[in-house]
Amino acid sequence: MSAEEYFERAYQAHEQKDYDKAIADYSQAILLKPDYAVAYVNRGAVRAAQGDYDLAIVDYDQAILLKPDFTLAYNNRGVVHAVKSNTSRAIDDYDQAIYLKPDFAGAYSNRGETYFAMGKMQEALADFKKAYDLEPAFNFSLAGLGITYHKMGNIQQAVGLWKMLIGLDSRYRDAEWTRKTLNWPAPLLEEAKKLVARL
């Protein structure tokens, strides 16, 4: 099999959450094609999904070494740094992803989550607004706006945004489903629970 064929099989295994098989096949693709930057990023994503954050960072580092303008690698590494509470490093990675791709809504939303967790509400609000302006169908940024307004005491605005979110997807009425879907850190989840309780 070619590196590309191993990559495709790994991708399918990843989609099916067969993480061990995905890692084995991404590793085989990298062995056959050592400069396969996207295979490093995808293997990093699998490792992050398994909770193996240090090895995920190693993979993202290698992808960036191979392709210094790889925006997704910076964004994904930022997510892992945020999970590990390395907030300043997470912000640096999101900044770089946004510098390279100024319309990257996901990076703005992720940076907003990190700012929220750091207690920097004005910065979080600005990032969630930017993410929403760039991609109005991106529910995570709408949810981020809702909880940030709620945390800042603008309850009417927060409830209105969350009702809009429920109109797009009624499952946002369920705080537990929201927790699993958004995969937010604790400070954001606690605020989301408070907001949902007001509905």
- pLDDT tens digit sequence for 162-180: 999 999 999 998 877 887 7
Mean pLDDT, residues 44-68: 97
What domain range is 144 assigned to? 107-199
The pLDDT of residue 12: 97
In a domain, 181, yes or no: yes
Positive or negative torsion for Cα 161, 164, 169, 173: positive
Q: Judge whether 75 and 63 are in contact, CB under 8 Å.
A: no
Model pTM?
0.92
In a domain, 120, yes or no: yes
In a domain, 199, yes or no: yes
Query: What's the CATH number where 188 sits?
Result: 1.25.40.10
In a domain, 141, yes or no: yes
In a domain, 86, yes or no: no
- pLDDT tens digit sequence for 65-84: 999 999 999 999 999 999 99
Region of poorest pLDDT, from 16-20, 110-114, 186-190: 186-190
Q: How confident is the model at residue 181 (pLDDT cuts 50, 70, 90)?
A: confident
In a domain, 130, yes or no: yes
